[in-house]
């Protein structure tokens, strides 16, 4: 659907979720509404992935500082050619660990060679995108799923490896025993098509 149609799509998703599982009815009314895909991202797919790598295991403030330094190192535009022109020592100089340098370098090489087809991502399925990203060092399924949801605005992603999603599910259902990722995956199947929206309310309830 187009961005203009997304509000109706999200409204229909909320109604469907509450109909399938009435436990979500109250949280949907109380919590901040889902906004996936309502606005175009202010960054390219490549920049979004680089930012996600930078943000791994550091504070929000530290991630912003490192990203700003990289932005400056790239003369004001973080693009595959400009990042690819930087040496590993230059990348480390902005505050990246050696592991993150490797991840960003592999991503950059993949984009430049076409092995990671970022321009085709809007036309690929969720799993095809996950399969393109997860062979890269340092990019796991969770990172790929966050990219699908927050950058591409995909509405049917079920990130069961996210602890906050599982804790939110438990809070909404007043579960005494924590639900595992393995247990949660099939519980999302009745919501196929709107599982990102389902995850949104789990996040907000956690």
pLDDT tens-digit map of 111-141: 999 999 999 999 999 999 999 999 999 999 9
Within this chain, do residues 161 and 193 fall inside the same structural domain, yes or no?
Answer: yes
Residue 1 has pLDDT above 80, yes or no: no
CATH of the domain at 18: 1.10.1670.40
Within this chain, do residues 124 and 83 fall inside the same structural domain, yes or no?
Answer: yes
Within this chain, do residues 16 and 114 fall inside the same structural domain, yes or no?
Answer: no
Within this chain, do residues 123 and 175 fall inside the same structural domain, yes or no?
Answer: no
Domain final residue pick, 109, 128, 151: 151
Residue 93 has pLDDT above 80, yes or no: yes
Within this chain, do residues 146 and 53 fall inside the same structural domain, yes or no?
Answer: yes
Q: How many CB atoms lie within 10 A of CB 74?
A: 17
Domain final residue pick, 109, 131, 151: 151
**Residues of the domain holding 137:** 45-151
Cβ-Cβ contacts under 8 Å for 18 (sequence gap 6 or more): 24, 25, 28
Within this chain, do residues 117 and 190 fall inside the same structural domain, yes or no?
Answer: no
Within this chain, do residues 94 and 146 fall inside the same structural domain, yes or no?
Answer: yes
Q: How many domains does the chain have?
A: 2
pLDDT tens-digit map of 165-206: 999 999 999 999 999 999 999 999 999 999 999 999 999 999
CATH of the domain at 94: 1.10.340.30
Within this chain, do residues 96 and 126 fall inside the same structural domain, yes or no?
Answer: yes
Rounded percentage of the chain residues whose pLDDT exceeds 90: 97
Per-residue confidence (pLDDT) for residue 186, from 0 to 100: 98
Per-residue confidence (pLDDT) for residue 153, from 0 to 100: 95
Secondary structure class of 14 (helix, strand, coil): helix
Q: What is the mean pLDDT of residues 7-30?
A: 97
Among 196, 156, 152, 155, which Cα is nearest to 44's? 152
Four-residue CA torsion sign, 124, 188, 16, 37: negative
Q: What is the pTM of this model?
A: 0.93
Residue 77 burial by CB count (10 A; 0-12/13-18/19+): exposed, middle or buried?
A: exposed
148/125 Cα distance (integer angstroms): 10
- How many residues appear in the chain? 206
Per-residue confidence (pLDDT) for residue 4, from 0 to 100: 85
Within this chain, do residues 142 and 180 fall inside the same structural domain, yes or no?
Answer: no
Within this chain, do residues 77 and 120 fall inside the same structural domain, yes or no?
Answer: yes
């Amino acid at each position: 659907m187009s961005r203009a149609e997304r509000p109706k799509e999200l409204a229909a998703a909320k109604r469907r979720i509450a109909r399938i599982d009435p436990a979500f009815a109250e949280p949907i009314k109380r919590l901040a509404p889902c906004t996936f895909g309502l606005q175009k991202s202010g960054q390219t797919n490549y920049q979004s992935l680089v930012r996600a790598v930078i943000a791994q295991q550091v504070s929000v403030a530290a991630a912003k500082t490192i990203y700003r330094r990289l932005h400056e190192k790239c003369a004001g535009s973080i693009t595959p050619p400009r990042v690819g022109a930087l040496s590993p020592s230059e990348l480390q100089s902005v505050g990246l660990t050696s592991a993150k340098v490797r991840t960003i370098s592999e991503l950059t090489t993949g984009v430049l060679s076409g092995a990671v087809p970022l321009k085709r991502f809007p036309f690929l399925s969720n799993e095809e995108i996950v399969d393109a990203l997860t062979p890269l060092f340092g990019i796991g399924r969770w990172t790929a799923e966050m990219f699908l949801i927050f950058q591409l605005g995909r509405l049917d992603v079920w990130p069961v490896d996210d602890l906050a999603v599982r804790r939110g599910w438990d809070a909404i259902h007043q579960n005494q025993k924590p639900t595992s990722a393995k247990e949660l995956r099939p519980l999302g199947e009745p919501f196929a098509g709107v599982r990102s929206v389902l995850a949104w309310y789990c996040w907000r309830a956690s």
